[in-house]
Structure 1
Amino acid sequence: MKTTLLPFLLLLLSVATLAQTPPIKGVVKGIIIDSAKNAPLGYATIALVDAATKAPVKSTLTKDNGTFELKDLEIKNYLLNVISVGYTSKTIGINTLSSTKPEADAGRIILAPSNAQLGEVKITAAKPLVKQEIDRMSYDVQADPESKAQTAMDMLRKVPLVTIDGDDNIQLQGSGSYRIFINGKPSALLTNNPKDVLRAMPATNIQKIEVITTPPAKYDAEGLAGIINIITSKKTDDGYNGTVTARYNFPWGPNINLSTTYKQGKFGLSGFLGTGRQVPTKFESGSYRETYSPASVFTQNGIFDNAGGGWGYGSVETSYEIDTLNLLTASLNYNFGDFRNSSNKLTQFSSQAPGILPQSYNLINIGGNGYTGTDVSFNYQLGFKRNKQQLLTTSYRYTDYNNGQHNDISSINDVNYNGPDYTQRNNAGEQAHTFQVDYIQPMKKLTLEAGAKAILRKNTSETEATVFSIRNGQGSFVEDPSRENDLIYHQDVYSLYNSYTYKLTKWVFKAGARLERTQVDANFVTNATTLNMGYTNIVPSLSAQLMLPKNQSLTFGYTNRLERPSIYQLNPFVDRSNPQIISTGNPNLRPVISDLIELTYSKSGTGSFSTKLSYMHTGGMAVSVIRLISDTLSETTYENVGNSKILRWNVNGNNPIGKKVNINYSTGLFYVWISGPYNGRFYSNHGLRTNTFVSGSYKPGDGWSFGLSYGFNRRYIMLQGSSNDYMYSSISAYKTFANKKLTITGVVNNPYKTYNQFTNYTSTPDFYQSNTSNNYYRNFSLSLSYKFGKLSSDIKKNQRTINNDDLSGK
């Protein structure tokens, strides 16, 4: 019976299987042709959308031979969009798919070269957030659904290789030595107080953020870890448009931002401006120091009262196209800020040394700081008829930055303490004139770039101090010449560069070198001494990229970089706002040189993935060091004593899940070694660091979007100490109205804790010292954004302009 039944069951199963015929799937194929060369065009983007709903269906890239094929398609009508940089886009209707004819051959699709993308196709498929180029990695802010709800600082947290700690201090590849630009050049907006600008600037102002880890020779050699370049959005067409955003953040306060563009004929203008108020806030802070011989303990704990203040920033760029070969551009950037603060800290000291009485007093510090920054630039670009990519550019730039600090220090409730009351004032600034010439000569496969540059820079520092003194029974503040320390510091940098880019079918090579001569002339006005020195650096750079099948690439880079000390490190002003923990700069600092080598694999498509392995070595690094002057006094300064090695592995990616969910992740794992001698001792520190970030967004439709993110950063590794770990998170939502012109956004950052305790500590054989602040961490913001205007054609701007990226100050 079993023998008869088994074949019968198998027969029934076969019949059922045949009855469930799978649906017929369609195929669309074709070949893309370059009309100018009459040759196949590789790596063109093919995007297929539903003809009825305009929803994205599939996308791919053409092969080296220009062919493409899209499989497993539903039988319906489609629109085939063909896009390639430098070519006019094209849209073709696919209306011939049927169950009897499931294959549609689009045949030869001809693309014509174009100087500008005409924008006739709107691609609605998800774009990769991260793109790897031969010498940089870029994060597409506009492709991030959360960009409508977040600030520029929030976006920076997501960028691979960038780390932001609990106090919003930025590091690149684990290093604090980098340059940060706006639109390819340093800006007054980010020179004095970048935190306020980045916290207030809406991410909708930003197009993308570039991380240039192996800068080519056209960039100044400064920035050991590389360059962060923030590129702002500029839909600069005939007509005008703009976006105004008002935001209130609790507990920080309100701010408003306006970005706009205007173009009429040959004249164009674009810019943005913003202002904000910082409402009064309070948080606890403290210091602890323990010395070992003689044994003593010093503590300070109290309230830091941020009494409020305000800031503003603005940027404008203009362009006038004289004719097709002559272009004039100019830009103006300005920002300012003024903040007030005070603190009341209970200070206690005890020692086991004989004859030393315990001390106790309340230290009162009332002060503030203010800054202004201005830079103006003019550029003239000359084109050539025989080749529109051949350009000669001349540029001039003037910068003026000023930063002022003032403190009134006193004590009350004194027990065995007789320190005088005193005041201190310091005004530090920088003025610079920059002249630059750049030339680009493209050939068939080779592009030559060359240029010359001169930066004439003057740094100044002026200090005033008074001490409360009693004379003839009357008390008054009198000048204290021993605390004055004025400086005039001239630093002139002259440079030449030459670089070459060679493109093959699958390979791209970029190599160059930069020669820089630096001349320093310093005058220590207070003690009538001078410093004269000069040094020459040759900075090479080499990058190579191999394009692999299926939109993959392998990139190698090497560069030799240097760091010149900034006025903030050089300033001899002794900051005694805390009389037991003082700090000062070091005008004798010398430049620092590093070597960086890296290897990157990346893959892009509907999602993206990349992994990078890098190694950086820095000798004679200018590091922050602390020494004990007495058991009640420590001094922090900078010295060229650090020898640093960083081995880093980074993984990042972006994965859309269906049409509504998008996941973005980035993990950096790096090991740090740092060593060097200071104050008669040799220090060595090492350890594992990591920074991990993951975010997700959900767009259910009807103008709604929700976002969730989490990040974890492991401690800093410093020559004499370290810091604690920290984590952060964010929940956001936004809704668009009025045909996407009006957007309402809500964000909650770090909802799990009100304050974040951030501690830096120093540990030596003589003493242990820590500084802790409990900063506000949980914050809420609500914003309203409105878009207006309409544009229709592109503005021209210079392809070369001045980039003073030669200093370490940010």
Structure 2
Amino acid sequence: MTCKHPLMNKPTSLRIVVLVAFVTLWTCAFTSYGQTLVPTYKVSGQIADSATRKPLEFVTLTLMADSHKTIRADYSKPDGSFVLASLKPGSYSVVLTMVGYRTYTVPVMLADTAHPAVDLGLIALRSQAVGLSEVIVKAAKPVIRQEIDRIAYDLQADPDSKVYNVLEMMRKVPFLSVDAQENILLKGGSNYRIFINSKPSGMLERNPRDVLRSMPASTIERIEVITNPPARYDAEGLAGIINIITFRQPASGYKGSVNLSERFPVGGPGIGGSLSAQLGKLGLSVIGGGSLYNTPRTSNTLDRLSSGNAPTQLTQTGSSLSDKRSGYMGYELSYELSDRQLISSQFNLNGSRTTGAANQHSALSDQTGLLQAYDLASNQLLTGNSVSASLNYQLGFKADKDRFLTLSYRYYAYGDQQQDQIAFANREQYVQPDYRQDNDQRFAEQSFQFDYVSPIKKVNAELGLKAILRQNNSDFTYRSLNPASGTFEPNADLSNRYNYDQNVLSAYTAYQYNLGNWNLRMGVRAEQTLIDADFTSTSSRVNQQYTNLIPSLAVSRKLENNRIIKLGWVHQIRRPNIQRLNPFVDRSNPNVETSGNPNLRPSAFNRLQLGYGLSGKFSVNMGLDYTFVRGFDLLITILDPATNISRSTYENTGRGDALDYSLSGRYPVSKNWDISFNGMFTYFWSAVVSGPSQASTQMVQYFMTASSGYRFEKGWRANASLNLVSASIRSPQEKVNGLVGSSVSVTKTFIPDKLSFSALVNNPFTPFRTNRIETVGAGFAQVRTSRDYFRSFSVSLNYNFGKLTETIQKNKREIKNDDLAR
């Protein structure tokens, strides 16, 4: 039995648009390349100490134009040599700077086409005998930077950002990893929030994986991982906050980028870009894009064995495919009312549409033989969209530029619709009729916030008030086929309407104190949560009210040689989101049902953190964390022996402890060759402490990513990476197998800082991978597998344009609703 996908024969307009644009930019690349790089001018030489004649490594070389504009920056190799290649004809100055030596300037004229290479020979730098009042050294940007409560990864300082999308780059960010299903993990967990420019975004609230997969890393400035959120952030986030910073460059004029890509056999065409502009007191930043993500047909299985007085075996084999179309857009607009007043607004939206088809053969048997069997064909349609808008007003004070207050308002809403149609054939002792299930889920939120910041001598004090008003609605309907009439009729017993209102009122105060190399930050936040849930179809209600007091503490000490040590303590809570609360029962597989639980309560956790960082030629960051959680909401699966249906839902029955060790670093072996690594090891213990599925488990989990890149002449760069993810546990009942992945990429720069082309192959030696999930519960054990595409190819073209010179003004405080976990 086969099921034809409804979109297999439809033309793909986005693919055609991307292909045309791709060819156009590709043609421009060769045209520009041929016009600007022939002939190739270059400047070379060697640098040594004037007294000892010993070669000098890491001398900063700055190529300046006659207008004193910086054209290029580089540094010398271990033997003192250097080459500044791919230059245009003109008059330049090469400025050599190094701490402890006098600045040396060499004029260079590049105009002779017969002799485009200029060799400056041996340049001897004289030591500086007296102390310098000021030394300005322009060198390569550090990729990783540590702060008291976060770590930042500069994507633009990593050349791989021209090759990968944001989701793929997250494998290189400390504390972050990506599993086999491309789920983002922070310290091995999924309990975090994702922000854009330090605030929630409608683009990433619903389906961050799809948006980040279509977002070129070249459009993002840096990614911050906040592992110890200060008190001004909402109390939610068991693992922390992932903060994606878009370009906020100097902006008098305009500057932007556009990226075109194609990925196959899994994936499809994509386009993304960003733009920043400044017109007087008005500033604008825009980011947007879209993609197709097609998954060809793959196979899957489920094997379940039950024990007890009447043991059974369930065997299911099938296949599925899907097509997804998604897009996103966001903008920020700011206007300076005066030198002390700033008003800004944001608007974000995204949307997606997924069509899927699946086939399945199911057989249930016991010791006497076959009990029931059927063939199933299903078609699924998933659509969703979200929108968010905010308005912020900031008032500064003439007496102190660091004192200000902000008033903020934010609106956010999204809707998700799921439609499944299930048809049976070849029935054996199976009488359930064909059916349809629809789930319409909607969410709306309004937030009001007041923040005040004022320095008091050496202490920076903050206080604030906030109110979040949320409304969740779900309308799900189950319809069974009436053979007599041929229509699908609603089944009231399996349908329901659900309204869930949640209001969170909070106040916070925080203090930060800097004394020399010491930095101390402490704060406390109080939150009251009011919940009213109404099942309109069954005339039942659920009411909850609770108050949480959340303290936080962080201490850092700067040491010699760009080293830093940090100590922190975090106490936070996790409120269940609408997906975990929604009682909709998904029956797309008749023998496996899943649903949410509207009676869930928040879970609390404590974490002790110790961190160490070193910045320099060799940068390294290490961390040791201990976390313990109580009342954790875990997915619990129970098998009903009467119906042979396994039912999964969330319960506040979990507890766990984890000891994490993280290690990341980067080392430039030479001017052209760099190596980076990112890894984490976790000893994890968790348990289900009540109910019929009491269980406990413990294991060591790890993830490691290592990459190495080499820059060749004439704008070529190659990169290779290896990704290791161990087997992991989702709950004491569930275990997922690990993976070993690899990738190789090549990038060609045609116009420096303007136009580049990249090609990538993921997992070149492994075309497919088997994903395996083992579940063990009271009286049963089951294994689910899926054979997924693992090898993929992609190409992309990236173009940067425009020029900016001043700074776009931003509000210093904005609404950040980070209190709901993913």
Mapped contact 1:748–1:779 kept (Cα < 8 A):
yes
2: CA distance, partners of 1:776 / 1:72: 47
For 2:638, give the aligned amino acid: R
Deviation at 1:486, TM superposition (A): 1.3
1:203 corresponds in structure 2 to 217
1:451 equivalent in structure 2 = 464
**C-alpha deviation, 1:23, in angstroms:** 4.0
User: For 2:587, what is the secondary structure of its paired residue?
Assistant: coil
Find the aligned partners of 2:614 and 2:190 in 1 and give their Cα distance. 29
Within 2, Cα distance between the matches of 1:93 and 1:178? Answer: 48
Which residue does the alignment assign to 2:401? 388
Task: Write the distance in 2 (CA, Å) between the matches of 1:102 and 1:80.
Answer: 11
The answer to whether the aligner puts 1:351 opposite 2:380 as a matched pair is no
The residue matched to 2:167 in structure 1 has which SS? helix
Match of 2:681 in 1: 669
| Counterpart-to-counterpart distance in 2, 1:245 and 1:50 | 29
Q: Report the secondary structure of 1:793's partner residue.
A: coil
Distance 1:54 1:417, change over 3 A: closer
What do residues 251-297 of structure 1 show as CA deviations (whole Å, max 9, x unaligned)? 21111112111111100111111112234621111211110122211
- On the 8 A contact 1:709/1:731 being kept in 2, the answer is yes
Correspondence for 1:615: 626
| Structure 1 residue corresponding to 2:727, chosen from 715, 719, 724 | 715
Q: Which residue of 2 aligns with 1:659?
A: 671
Q: Which residue of 2 aligns with 1:324?
A: 339
Matched with 1:33 is none
Alignment-mate amino acid for residue 269 of structure 2: P
Is the contact between residue 102 and residue 125 of structure 2 (CA under 8 Å) also seen in structure 1? no
Q: How far does residue 100 in structure 1 lie from its aligned partner after superposition? A: 10
1:674-703 superposed Cα distances (whole Å, 9 cap, x missing partner): 012343342111101011110111111322
Kept in 1, the 8 Å contact 2:219–2:273? The answer is no
Of the three residues 127, 139, 149, the one matched with 1:103 is 127
CA drift at 1:170: 1.6
Report what 2:274 is aligned to.
Answer: 259
Letter in 1 for 2:756: T
Letter of the 1:226 counterpart: G
Q: How does 1:311-710 map to 2 (within 5 A)?
A: 311-352=326-367, 357-471=370-484, 474-630=485-641, 632-710=644-722
CA distance in 2, matches of 1:516, 1:578: 40
Three-state SS of the structure 2 residue aligned to 1:199 is helix
Give the counterpart letter for 1:193 in structure 2.
N
Structure-2 separation of matches of 1:100 and 1:333: 56
Q: Partner of 2:203: helix, strand, or coil?
A: helix
Which whole-Å CA distance do the structure 1 matches of 2:464 and 2:753 have between them? 45
Cα pair 2:56 2:76 within 8 Å, conserved: no
Q: How does 1:35-434 map to 2 (within 5 A)?
A: 48-49=60-61, 56-57=74-75, 78-80=95-97, 93-94=103-104, 102-105=126-129, 107-110=131-134, 123=138, 125-251=139-265, 252-279=267-294, 281-293=296-308, 294-306=310-322, 308-352=323-367, 357-434=370-447
| Structure 2: tracts of 5 or more residues without a match | 1-49, 65-70, 83-92, 107-121
Paired residues of 2:250 and 2:804 also in contact (CA < 8 A): yes
For residues 774 and 665 of structure 2, the distance between their equivalents in structure 1, rounded to whole angstroms, comes to 34
Determine whether 1:24 maps to 2:44: no
Contact 1:245–1:256, Cα closer than 8 Å, also in 2: yes
Task: State how far apart, in whole Å, the 2-side matches of 1:578 and 1:804 are.
Answer: 35
Secondary structure, in 3 states, of the residue corresponding to 1:153? helix
Q: Go from structure 1 to structure 2 and tell me whether the alpha carbon gap of 1:260 and 1:99 turns closer, same or farther (over 3 Å shift).
A: closer
Deviation string for 1:554-585 (max 9, x for gaps)?
10010101000100000000010111101000
Q: TM-score, normalised by structure 1?
A: 0.87
Distance in 2 between residues matched to 1:27 and 1:685, nearest whole Å? 56
Q: State the SS of the aligned residue for 1:526.
A: coil
Question: In structure 2, how many angstroms separate the alpha carbons of the residues matched to 1:726 and 1:522?
Answer: 41
Secondary structure at 2:538's aligned position in 1? coil
Match of 1:745 in 2: 758
Q: Which moved more, 1:328-337 or 1:240-249?
A: 240-249
CA gap 1:72/1:245 in 2 versus in 1, 3 angstroms:
closer
Tell me how far 1:54 sits from its aligned partner. 6.0
Distance in 2 separating the partners of 1:407 and 1:783:
36
Deviations 1:364-399 (A, max 9, x none): 111120110000000001111122111111100000
TM-superposed CA distance for 1:359, in Å, is 2.2
How many residue pairs align between the two structures? 738
> Aligned letter for 2:191?
S
Tell me the secondary structure at the aligned position of residue 274 of structure 1: strand
Does the 8 Å contact 1:204/1:233 carry over to 2? no
What SS does the aligned partner of 2:312 have? strand
In the alignment, is the contact (CA less than 8 A) between 1:703 and 1:740 conserved in 2? no
2:249 counterpart SS class: coil
For residues 123 and 80 of structure 2, the distance between their equivalents in structure 1, rounded to whole angstroms, comes to 11
The Cα RMSD (Å) is 2.6
Does the CA contact (< 8 Å) of 2:637 and 2:777 recur in 1? no
Give me the whole-angstrom Cα distance separating, in 2, the residues matched to 1:101 and 1:228.
45
Find out whether 1:792 has 2:805 as its counterpart: yes
Q: Which moved more, 1:785-794 or 1:577-586?
A: 785-794
| Residue pair 1:126, 1:656 contacting (<8 A) in 2 also | no
Q: Is the 8 A contact 1:351 1:358 kept in 2?
A: yes
- Offset of 1:140 from its aligned partner? 1.4
CA distance in 2, matches of 1:101, 1:357: 88
User: Given residue 462 of structure 2, which amino acid in structure 1 is its aligned partner?
Assistant: E
Tell me what 1:88 maps to: none
Q: Identify unmatched segments of 5+ residues in structure 1.
A: 1-20, 29-45, 60-70, 83-90, 112-120
Deviates more, 1:217-226 or 1:789-798: 789-798
The CA distance in 2 between the partners of 1:800 and 1:639, in whole Å, is: 36
* Deviation digits for residues 386-426 of structure 1 (CA, Å, limit 9, x no counterpart): 22111111100000011110100111111222221100000
After superposition, the C-alpha distances for 1:504-542 in whole angstroms (9 at most, x for unaligned) are 111000000111111101111111111112110011110
Structure 2 letter corresponding to 1:544: V
SS in 2 for 1:568: helix
Structure 1 residue 101, shift from structure 2 partner: 8.7
Aligned in 2, Cα 1:27/1:275: closer, same or farther, shift over 3 Å? closer
1-side partners of 2:446 and 2:236: how far apart?
17
1:22-80 residue CA offsets vs partner (Å, 9 max, x unmatched): 9434999xxxxxxxxxxxxxxxxx97336799654489xxxxxxxxxxx9989998533
1:807 and 2:820 equivalent?
yes
Shift of 1:790: 1.8
Contact 2:350–2:386 (CA under 8 A) maintained in structure 1: yes
CA distance in 2, matches of 1:99, 1:334: 56
Q: Residue type matched to 1:583 in 2? A: T
Amino acid corresponding to residue 153 of structure 2 in structure 1: Y
CA distance in 1, matches of 2:218, 2:758: 12
Instruction: Measure the CA separation in 1 of the matches of 2:736 and 2:134.
Output: 59
* Sequence identity (%): 36
Q: Distance in 1 between matches of 2:781 and 2:768?
A: 25
